Structure 1
Amino acid sequence: MPANDVDRRLTPLPATGYIYRTSWRVATGDLDGNLDLRLDGVARYIQDVGAENLVDAGEAEEHPHWLVQRTVIDVIEPIEFPNDIAFSRWCSALSSRWCTMRVDLVGSDGGRIETEGFWIAINSKTLTPQRVSDSLVERFASTTDIHRLKWRPWLQNPDGADETLPFALRRTDIDIFEHVTNTAYWHAIHEVMALVPDVCTPPYRAVIEYRKPIKYGEDITLEWKRHDSGQIHDVQIALTVDGDVRAAALLRKL
């Protein structure tokens, strides 16, 4: 087994337990120049599937607000347009206030993307983690033996940078908590991906860990540093505000 969490493959689809499934067609607004589904589109889709999953589980009213602490996207084979995507979502680990949720995307005409998000149930009034219901724990625990999940970062903040550039926000990038949406961070990752296309040739892994919220009006700097050592080819990325790392990211060949 790999020594580091970031090197491990994601857990496979379980044979039993509560697995939410849905499907829809790839939207043309979520495509890159090669007609492949972009990562920000993937992030948006898995968030929408999660919202549907909560309704299906009967937990949407009690747990309407969740914040993502980390998102992992493994592009095994790109999903091209036109294509219908079959989504499978299940819990891979949980505790009383947070969980990791796997979502696999499989294209009807080819393509496979595997994802995992570390999601925290949030009290919208205090903006702090809240305890989830016993019924949610019972249902989600049916697909995992890990019931005491603890937060553990996968990424370190980059040590220095090879290149930097400013990254502008739009008002549409802000969520109901007045923070930058998780999908907007992936727009920044795509800026780097365009400069290191060899690292982002499938299969590859993209990871974002959110350190501190970014608010509209703050000046963001996008920094990245490439590492090539033996079989390892990756790019470490940071979104910073006045030198403070608000999010760390990684692009790596699988």
Structure 2
Amino acid sequence: MFTYERKVTYSEVASDAMADVAQIVRYFQDCSTMQSESLGMGIDFLAQHSHVWMLTAWQIQVMRRPRYFEEIVTGTWAYGFDSIYGYRNFLLKSSRGEILAVANSIWILANTKTGKPERLTGEMVQGYGSEEKYPMVYAPRRIALPKTWEDLEPFEVRRSDLDTNNHVNNARYIDMALEYADPGVNIYQLRVEYKKAARYKDKIWPRIHRENNKLTVALCDKDQKVYVAVEIATDEN
């Protein structure tokens, strides 16, 4: 497992002085890129080979959100590879070893010239290695979308939403979805399914569906084709 330690900074916390789920995703995202860089397979290596890792799904379970200035340890490891897919777990702990959040993620290796998936190379598989998968209840990659929706006002993708691939950053979609959650809600689990990338000045039409303890958010294009689906649950059910 690759790990890095840090303190939660003021710029990373919400109004309640704790990091929200989107910030936890940023910790995980940074941890995976740090591991790739440490192995010599970071963004420059990928660019040289016309490759990019595309995230297809998150499943994140939150036990406790970290507090401002708390010391935290973020860890990640690959637990499997399957043709074009890579599978990766994440762990967020306090400095005392308390587990704050765990996650599963599914990735596809894509060719930046063709935009199509490519088979994983032996160099990548051997470089990352494979460890035992985390013992959690794994949800399906796909999110079942409801039949009825409440359609909300569209908004435009900003430059600040973009990553180095000129797509909306994976964590920014979660920021967008959290805008529709009730203030102060205690999120137990977050699932995200990435379907297609939004770019600068694309318009996003949000649709939401509330049912019991679950909020489903679909961030769509003008034809109601989904960019990203997000499922927010406030307890284990």
TM band (smaller chain): 0.7 to 0.9
Partner of 2:86: 99
Letter in structure 2 aligned against 1:131: R
Letter in structure 1 aligned against 2:59: V
Alignment partner of 1:176 is 2:164: yes
Letter in structure 1 aligned against 2:87: T
C-alpha contact 1:206 1:249 (8 A) present in aligned 2: yes
Q: CA deviation at 1:111?
A: 6.1
Give secondary structure in 1 for the equivalent of 2:73: strand
C-alpha contact 2:151 2:205 (8 A) present in aligned 1: no
2:221 to 238, 241, 247: 241
C-alpha contact 1:157 1:245 (8 A) present in aligned 2: no
CA shift digits 1:52-104 (9 cap, x unpaired): 11123343354463111112221111111111211121113321322121111
C-alpha contact 2:27 2:74 (8 A) present in aligned 1: no
C-alpha contact 1:63 1:121 (8 A) present in aligned 2: no
Distance of 2:216 and 2:144 partners within structure 1: 9
Q: Percent identity, please.
A: 21
Distance of 2:186 and 2:159 partners within structure 1: 32
Partner of 1:219: 203
Give secondary structure in 1 for the equivalent of 2:180: helix
Q: CA deviation at 1:153?
A: 3.4
> Given the superposition, is the C-alpha separation of residues 111 and 28 from structure 1 closer, same or farther in structure 2, using an over 3 Å criterion?
farther
Partner of 1:250: 231
RMSD between superposed Cα atoms in Å: 2.3
> Given the superposition, is the C-alpha separation of residues 114 and 167 from structure 1 closer, same or farther in structure 2, using an over 3 Å criterion?
farther
C-alpha contact 1:167 1:188 (8 A) present in aligned 2: no
The normalised TM-score by structure 2 is: 0.83
For residues 27-66 of structure 1, the aligned pairs below 5 Å read: 27-60=9-42, 62-63=45-46, 65-66=52-53
Q: CA deviation at 1:139?
A: 4.9
Distance of 1:214 and 1:107 partners within structure 2: 34
The normalised TM-score by structure 1 is: 0.78
Distance of 2:163 and 2:178 partners within structure 1: 20
Greater mean deviation of Cα atoms: 116-125 or 98-107:
116-125
Partner of 2:136: none
Distance of 2:40 and 2:166 partners within structure 1: 27
Alignment partner of 1:201 is 2:186: yes
Distance of 2:24 and 2:219 partners within structure 1: 20
> Given the superposition, is the C-alpha separation of residues 172 and 83 from structure 1 closer, same or farther in structure 2, using an over 3 Å criterion?
same
Partner of 1:186: 174
Partner of 1:136: 124
Partner of 1:166: 154
Distance of 2:176 and 2:70 partners within structure 1: 26
